[in-house]
Structure 1
Amino acid sequence: MAPSRHVIVAGAGIAGLTTAMTLSRAGFRATVLEQAAKLEETGAGIQLSPNATRILFELGLRDRLEPHVVKPQMIRVMSGGSGREIACIPLGDLAERRYGAPFWVIHRGDLQAALLDGARGMIDIDIKLDHRFDDFASHANGITVQAFRGKQLVDERGAALIGADGIWSAVGDKLKSHRKPVFAHRTAWRTLVPADSVPDYLRAPVVHLFLGMDAHLVAYPVKAGALVNLVGIVNDDWNERGWNAPGDRTEILRRFARFTWAESVRELIGIPQRWLKWALFDNATPFAGGAGAVTLVGDAAHPMLPFLAQGAGMAIEDAAVLADTLKKHSENPAAGLRAYERLRRARTARVQRTARQQGSIYGRTGPEAVARNLVMRLIGGERLLKRYDWVYNWRQDQGAV
């Protein structure tokens, strides 16, 4: 295969593996460099909305994913103070008919395992573990990427380099236009608990969102219903990097304080013995783009807050658009990457902005929280769902919509 059809991808997470698969389907050979020596099941639950599942199905992953997912019938927005329902947003079959693809929740490790399995089944994808990206050099014949395999420096040559290496992207650090993410003064706490350890209503195929004083909590089943994923978001000044810092159970209970949070919610938070936490980062500046035959996808390009549940969705969309533009510009990879960036800039910036606004709405207290709850009740679930049409209805040929 000609060098112009070989693309190097840094990172074997959701963004990197999806990118490799979309490139393979577009007729490219992809080499994925991953610094981990072994890909292990990590992370918590994630929400896959129809804009993402549609692309995953096109990659032939539906049968691999379906045994592990839960298809929520609704999102129940709850008052954290009283424990009562504020609004109910319908999903399930209604959403699948509306958008042409389902809304699923899944453990991140199950999604990554399915992507890895799918990628390894494609002859044009080579996944190289224990390869830590170091640097790149552009030249007339494309690009040379340097990586460390242990202590040994190795080269990989191709037509383009795609940084899919997350929010603290090493590829991004080499781009002059790249802006580092900014701490959002919030932390997310996550855990998984056996389904039989929680009240019956939390075992149902439903996403529960509890809004309360200075925090909110999301709960939904994963692992085909065997486990329940809990994620609490709190205001915080702790801002260390990483995804797996141990969290003190007594601290998160303090954040969901007695008398301001319903005892039923506090009892739920008290079930797990082990919590992990990570600091939330954002970037209010839209992705400025790469340089030459280098660009970024996913969190490396546009880190976003989790309040719209679109981090994985945007990475999956990126992969589909990038493969399409590179295919259209196969003789000029740099032109293909600039076309990808133009198509993605407005949409990803809008998602970032909306997630930021959603977080502000979730975080309201006192009279503002009362007004928010009243407005949500008056709008009703179906009209609340309609507000997400622009996110969930996205198709690859819509470009920047």
Structure 2
Amino acid sequence: MPLKIIIVGAGLGGLAAAISIKTEKPDHDVHVLESAPELAEVGAGLQVTPNATRLLTRWKVSHRLEKLSSSPKSFTIHRYNDGSILGRRENYGEEMLAKYKSPFWDMHRADLQIALFERAKELGVNFRLGALVTALDLETPSVTLVCGDRIEGDLVVAADGTCLASRCRRTFLGKPSPPLPTGDLAYRVILRVEDIKDNSLRTFFGTPRVALWVGPDCHAICYPLKGNSLLNLVLLVPDNLPQGVTRETGDLQEMRAVFRDWDPRLQTLLSMVPQVDKWKLMHLGEMEKWHNEQATIAFLGDACHPMLPYLAQGAGSALEDGAALGVLLSTADCREDLPKALKLYEQLRKTRSTTLQERSIIQRRINHLANGLEQEQRDEILLQQLEEPQPGYPFYWLDPTQQSFVYGYDVYAEVCNLSLQPVSMGRHAREEDMAPGIHSREDFDRYLVAFNNNDTPVYTSFYADDAEMALGPVVLCGLDSIKDFFNTGRRVIAEHIAPEIVIMNDHAMAVTATITFTAKIDFTEPFLDIGPPVLKGGGYNTFFTIFYELNEHKQFKNIYAGRVKPSKTFGPGTY
């Protein structure tokens, strides 16, 4: 029996959900309500990475965008003041295509939105523009428009943008959830390549490239759009907008003054800018729940997990949300099926979005390091790995581990928990397929996020009931013993595992990792065999090799962990 699904918002996530639903279950009746009277060419550039472009191919949208997008020939990272090369990868676009079987594209947001809109209409999605939702009834469910029309359905999908504007979010939570300033603002600029007269710049941008400049408290990133005819330039600088003001016309002299000591090429670009707006970057934590118990509403994209721009994954994450929701709603033939589908959707997407949010915040800090020891150490790593970046490389675009986590992700394969090949059209995901287990590196990353966040119900679900763990002199037998050990220990010390090398097969895993222990109280005695007593806030950077044996259900059966280097103590002091 077909369901009537109301999607609030025709942004990238809402359109992705509409396309995915109609692709996977053509009988479902999908209605998209958009408050804008038309889909105008607004916004700026996007990096649409392989995890997202593979969805565009699946949805038969790629051919509409090939000539409107650019694939970078090179990716370069520059020291802010003299423009010297800190990192580089030539033939970057070709490498991404070969490695992940899907392209890395830079494109204008409007081009992507229009292409998705046209495809959704072809699939039979119903659109109503100029339809501002003013009220939401979660019992029916139904929405009421500003004109007074009331529209009922089986499910409302809240895709109505950021926490700043999401009426669905406010209604669902029963209270406002005001976002917090990040301390940054963004200048966004688009320039025509034909207007560049400076010879050094024409040479620099003669072939498509992503160029990233990093400096104290600021960074700048530039890449081509619309078949290399435009340049998209984004500048992230300290926020000086008044409280309560999120956008205003920028002062060109003020903008140029911020970058007066930066690479002359960047200064030349800024001298060409005729006018600019500046936007306060706001942030809000992820919603605790993405759907209600009655299964009458589900959230996606910025409405439930607003993304900061430092990983350039806001668009990709919204497309992934829409794709996953569409596949899981294909399993629902009546309202009674919705609770299971939405539970699986939240289970699948929440951990990844949390990880991307966390990594984005980390990348911001790395981009904006002040001149000093930490910056020098960062740059030394970059120059040592100039020809071949290694796991742990400071910038995720070139770090093989982080890059693989983001770009290698296939949400369709993840939904069905099968292989890295896309599932056949309309295949139903089963709840048993989603049971916790280490079937892929993505599963291990989900486990680590839960472990590092001390989310006991989630991370312990990856252990067998009869699991055994040997941690140096400590041996734990059984799941209850493992839970008790970590629950007790984490009252006094925090633990964070950062894997460096991960090797896995069907039966086992070997991991080398840095494990950071941070004291929550003053330690008057040595901590296990790790290190000497430390004060609250101090701790230990330790280096471990960990072996995990898996049972037939891909759960951890036996774990052996041993230190491979002496620990390094850090913090406010030791006894």
TM-score, normalized by the shorter chain, greater than 0.5? yes
CA deviations on 1:41-83 (whole Å, 9 max, x unpaired) are 0111100000000011100001101110001123211111111
Residue 337 of structure 1: which of 333, 342, 350 is its match? 342
Unaligned runs of 5+ residues in structure 1 are none
SS in 1 for 2:41: coil
Q: Give 1:182 shift.
A: 2.2
Q: What is the TM-score normalised by the length of structure 1? A: 0.92
Aligned position for 2:383: 377
Question: Which AA in structure 2 matches 1:163?
Answer: A
1:104 aligns with 2:105: yes
Aligned position for 1:137: 137
| Cα separation, 2, equivalents of 1:14 and 1:318 | 10
Asked if 2 retains the 8 angstrom alpha-carbon contact of 1:203 and 1:225, the reply is no
Aligned position for 1:398: 414
Asked if 1 retains the 8 angstrom alpha-carbon contact of 2:290 and 2:300, the reply is no
Aligned position for 2:40: 40
Asked if 2 retains the 8 angstrom alpha-carbon contact of 1:89 and 1:385, the reply is no
Q: Give 1:385 shift.
A: 3.7
The 10-residue stretch of structure 1 (202-211 or 310-319) with the greater mean CA deviation from structure 2 = 202-211
Aligned position for 1:16: 14
| Cα separation, 2, equivalents of 1:70 and 1:233 | 23
Question: Which AA in structure 1 matches 2:102?
Answer: A
* 1:281–1:347 CA distance, 2 compared to 1 (3 A): same
* 1:177–1:394 CA distance, 2 compared to 1 (3 A): farther
| Cα separation, 2, equivalents of 1:22 and 1:398 | 15
| Cα separation, 2, equivalents of 1:165 and 1:203 | 39
Q: What is the TM-score normalised by the length of structure 2? A: 0.65
| Cα separation, 1, equivalents of 2:7 and 2:88 | 41
Aligned position for 1:56: 56
| Cα separation, 1, equivalents of 2:20 and 2:286 | 27
Aligned position for 2:327: 324
RMSD of aligned C-alpha atoms?
Answer: 1.9
The 10-residue stretch of structure 1 (354-363 or 229-238) with the greater mean CA deviation from structure 2 = 229-238
1:244-263 → structure 2 map (5 Å cutoff) = 245-256=248-259, 258=260, 260-263=261-264
Question: Which AA in structure 2 matches 1:352?
Answer: Q
Aligned position for 1:176: 173
Question: Which AA in structure 2 matches 1:26?
Answer: E
Q: Give 1:17 shift.
A: 1.1
The 10-residue stretch of structure 1 (41-50 or 325-334) with the greater mean CA deviation from structure 2 = 325-334
Aligned position for 2:563: none
Asked if 1 retains the 8 angstrom alpha-carbon contact of 2:285 and 2:306, the reply is no
Aligned position for 1:186: 184
* Greater relative CO, 1 or 2 (CA 8 Å, sep 6+): 1
* 1:89–1:224 CA distance, 2 compared to 1 (3 A): same
Larger Rg: 2
Question: Which AA in structure 1 matches 2:343?
Answer: R
1:62-77 → structure 2 map (5 Å cutoff) = 62-77=62-77
Unaligned runs of 5+ residues in structure 2 are 391-397, 416-441, 444-575
Question: Which AA in structure 2 matches 1:6?
Answer: K
| Cα separation, 1, equivalents of 2:219 and 2:205 | 16
SS in 2 for 1:272: coil
Aligned position for 2:228: 225
Q: Structure 1 vs Structure 2: percent identity of aligned residues?
A: 28
Task: Considering fraction of residues, name the structure with more helix.
Answer: 1
CA deviations on 1:239-269 (whole Å, 9 max, x unpaired) are 6566x6322211211221x3x3223222211
| Cα separation, 2, equivalents of 1:330 and 1:342 | 20
CA deviations on 1:215-254 (whole Å, 9 max, x unpaired) are 1111111011111011000011426566x63222112112
Q: Give 1:7 shift.
A: 0.6
| Cα separation, 1, equivalents of 2:288 and 2:186 | 24
SS in 2 for 1:207: strand
The 10-residue stretch of structure 1 (206-215 or 284-293) with the greater mean CA deviation from structure 2 = 284-293
The 10-residue stretch of structure 1 (155-164 or 351-360) with the greater mean CA deviation from structure 2 = 155-164
CA deviations on 1:106-143 (whole Å, 9 max, x unpaired) are 011111111111112122x011001001222234xx51
Asked if 2 retains the 8 angstrom alpha-carbon contact of 1:177 and 1:290, the reply is no
SS in 2 for 1:274: coil
Q: How many residues align?
A: 390
The 10-residue stretch of structure 1 (38-47 or 273-282) with the greater mean CA deviation from structure 2 = 273-282
Q: Give 1:30 shift.
A: 1.1
Question: Which AA in structure 2 matches 1:73?
Answer: K
Residue 194 of structure 2: which of 171, 179, 196 is its match? 196
1:348-367 → structure 2 map (5 Å cutoff) = 348-367=353-372
Aligned position for 2:557: none
Q: Runs in 1 of length 4+ with deviation above 4 angstroms?
A: 177-180, 239-242
